Chain A
């Protein structure tokens, strides 16, 4: 049985790639494409009468295939389906890093799943609290309840928007500028930041429009999303390139961190770097950029 390292609540999750748990060709080595997380789907990707077959594949894949440092999340079926409890059992038994709850609408939903996870952790002798949770927000009610969902459990590492279902509920159609999801996206980021967890944007399904995809990624990064759900490996590189700090950003961040350390030793709390006033408030952003650069593997400095 493959031993996976302890799931980390805070880690790089720029890209979360969906794969079907019912397709052996997809589950055998999705890690080669370099996505930060893989979401093994037991829900929409699996036909209603094949849910059992998908669980067997999932269990064996989780226990024999070495996914290395790539995080493995399982999207269970919705809480109104007869499948979700067994989905949780098999995911914990297999050692998945986390559970993604689809159509999550309230803190109660999270707590119901958390209970099932705890029970399964005990049954399968998994250290209590090991398995993380994320929630997919797919309805207006879910968006409005985003903050309570984020804070419903210490296992929560993030929330994701599910654009397709949300647009249907909102009775809007997709636009390139994303105005129809503007508020929903904004709420999601606010809730996540207030709760101190991560947030992920929705999948982009038009594989012929890579330009449109790229523009959407740029926009959601500006809005504050930590990453994006993907449906195809060729989307991965585009997201990673956009989330990579530029050399200029890294350089500026280094200067701020160095200047701050130097000045604060002398007892100076406010100073200028390149004619800009800098104080301690600028430090966390600068440190975050350097950490991101390191995680992306492009940091060559010595901080």
Chain B
């Protein structure tokens, strides 16, 4: 990651998002040695694989290699999924201040 960022190490469980229609609630927690993604979605049949791919894409871009991600989706658009996951990762890493908009967040 550029801009001298600290590596994204998850320190604690963190949640972002709500269970309202069109939103998604994502919980991110530290996990030993792997990425585990659990997805529940009101549109699973249509977007299950795409949701998983989006989660994996964000994790990769943010250099997160160990995490448990639990997704409860109520029909969120892709941009909402990214927003909620990124927020949860930053919260879990206990990083705040100036965010890397346009860089790691895209």
Closest residue of chain A to B97 (Cβ to Cβ) is A86
Closest residue of chain B to A93 (Cβ to Cβ) is B101
* Contact residues, A168-212 vs B (CB, 8 A): none
Interface residues as binary, B63-74 with A (CB distance below 8 Å gives 1, 0 otherwise): 000000000000
| Interfacial chain A residues near B76, Cβ < 8 Å | 24
Closest residue of chain B to A64 (Cβ to Cβ) is B79
Decide if B22 touches A59 in the complex (CB within 8 Å): no
How many A-B contacts if CB must be within 8 Å?
63
Stretch at the interface among B13-21, B27-35, B36-44, B45-53: B13-21
Known contacts A24-B22, A56-B86; decide if A86 and B99 are in contact (CB<8 Å): yes
| Interfacial chain B residues near A104, Cβ < 8 Å | none
Number of interface residues of A (CB under 8 A): 21
Contact size range, B: 20 to 34
Decide if A94 touches B101 in the complex (CB within 8 Å): yes
| Interfacial chain B residues near A63, Cβ < 8 Å | 79, 106
Decide if B102 touches A93 in the complex (CB within 8 Å): yes
Closest residue of chain A to B85 (Cβ to Cβ) is A56
Task: Report the minimum CB–CB distance from A233 to chain B (whole Å).
Answer: 16
Report how far A55 CA is from B96 CA in the complex, Å: 12
Decide if B99 touches A28 in the complex (CB within 8 Å): no
Name the one of A25, A56, A86, A124 contacting B83, with C-beta atoms under 8 angstroms: A56
Known contacts A25-B23, A52-B96; decide if A57 and B101 are in contact (CB<8 Å): no
Known contacts A59-B83, A60-B83; decide if A24 and B101 are in contact (CB<8 Å): no
Name the one of B84, B91, B98, B105 contacting A59, with C-beta atoms under 8 angstroms: B105
For residue B55, CB closer than 8 A to chain A, the reply is: no
Decide if B91 touches A60 in the complex (CB within 8 Å): no
Decide if A90 touches B99 in the complex (CB within 8 Å): yes
Decide if B87 touches A89 in the complex (CB within 8 Å): no
Task: Report the minimum CB–CB distance from A91 to chain B (whole Å).
Answer: 10
Decide if A57 touches B80 in the complex (CB within 8 Å): yes
Interface residues as binary, A20-59 with B (CB distance below 8 Å gives 1, 0 otherwise): 0001110010000000000000000000000011011101
Task: Report the minimum CB–CB distance from A86 to chain B (whole Å).
Answer: 7
Report how far A93 CA is from B78 CA in the complex, Å: 19
Contact sample, A vs B, 30 pairs, CB 8 Å cutoff: A23-B20, A23-B23, A24-B20, A24-B77, A24-B80, A52-B87, A52-B96, A53-B16, A53-B17, A53-B87, A56-B82, A56-B83, A56-B105, A57-B80, A59-B83, A59-B101, A60-B80, A61-B79, A61-B83, A63-B79, A63-B106, A64-B79, A65-B79, A86-B99, A89-B99, A89-B101, A93-B101, A93-B102, A124-B101, A124-B102
11 further A-B pairs in the complex, CB-CB below 8 A; given A53-B17, A61-B83: A24-B80, A52-B87, A52-B90, A52-B96, A53-B16, A53-B84, A56-B16, A56-B83, A60-B83, A89-B99, A90-B99
